[in-house]
Amino acid sequence: MSNPGDKAHLEELAALHAVDLLDESARNKLLDAALYDLEIDSLVRDYAEAATLLAHEAPQINPPPELRSAILNQLPARRTASKIISFQQLIPYAIAACLMALAISQIQQITALKSQLVTTRADVDRLQASNALIGMRLTTLAARDASYASSIILVAWDPNRNQGVVSPNNLPPAPAGHDYQLWVLDPAAQAPVNAGLLTESRSFTVNPVSTPNPGFAVSLEPAGGSPEPTGSILFAVAPGA
């Protein structure tokens, strides 16, 4: 938040957002800004926490005692029916997806660089040592649209190589004339960095970013993609999150 005027305006928006007094346009402006700026993100969370204080204005009344056992008796014996998949549950699939995508990437590299034996050997040696996974960060992108709540976008990011693997799960086909597009959110960049269309699990590489923990977002763009986001942000995780 370099501009004090912007900061004051965004703080006003954050205050109103905490009690749902923003229209959709202002809310999107605030939440998009929070994606790129940890300070704004922190402001939004601060105000949300402050708004929760209002809950204590309600006169304190105990629920009927029988409600406790009624609720406890309704808990499913096992939570396998839950649609929500924990991050821990995803890790084995994420690693498998990473390994598969990395394997594809390796084959392509080796084929293309056959004539450059020395370079290829170094690359193969490095991958054989399994160093490619060291320091890799796994993150899930939160759905920002309720209609995508059952979809999961997983990104494995290797900050040493500015390379990642994105894996969409249960993502519905893009509407006719549109494509999903992946963006890397670098706090130091003027705009989201294009990481290509998102149709299936694949690897992607972008120019060096300023942080080892960039954010990621997925938007719905006109078919073929856009140089910068023009459509709704459907999934996102903030830098450093």
Task: Report the interface residues with other proteins, using CB under 8 A.
Answer: 12, 15-16, 18-21, 42, 45-65, 67-68, 70-72, 74-76, 78-79, 82-84, 86-89, 240-241
Residue 127 token pair: 């991958």
Sign of the CA dihedral with 215 first, then 206, 7, and 32 last: negative
Cβ at position 238, least distance to other proteins in Å:
10
Nearer to other proteins, 26 or 124 (CB): 26
Nearer to other proteins, 61 or 176 (CB): 61
Cβ at position 169, least distance to other proteins in Å:
15
Q: Does residue 201 come out as left (phi exceeding 0), alpha (psi in the -120 to 50 range) or beta? A: beta
Cβ at position 61, least distance to other proteins in Å:
5
Cβ at position 110, least distance to other proteins in Å:
39
Sign of the CA dihedral with 118 first, then 119, 120, and 122 last: positive
Nearer to other proteins, 62 or 115 (CB): 62
Cβ at position 106, least distance to other proteins in Å:
33
- With vertex at residue 216, the alpha carbon angle to CA 215 and CA 221, rounded to the nearest 5 degrees, is 145
Nearer to other proteins, 57 or 190 (CB): 57
Nearer to other proteins, 140 or 181 (CB): 140
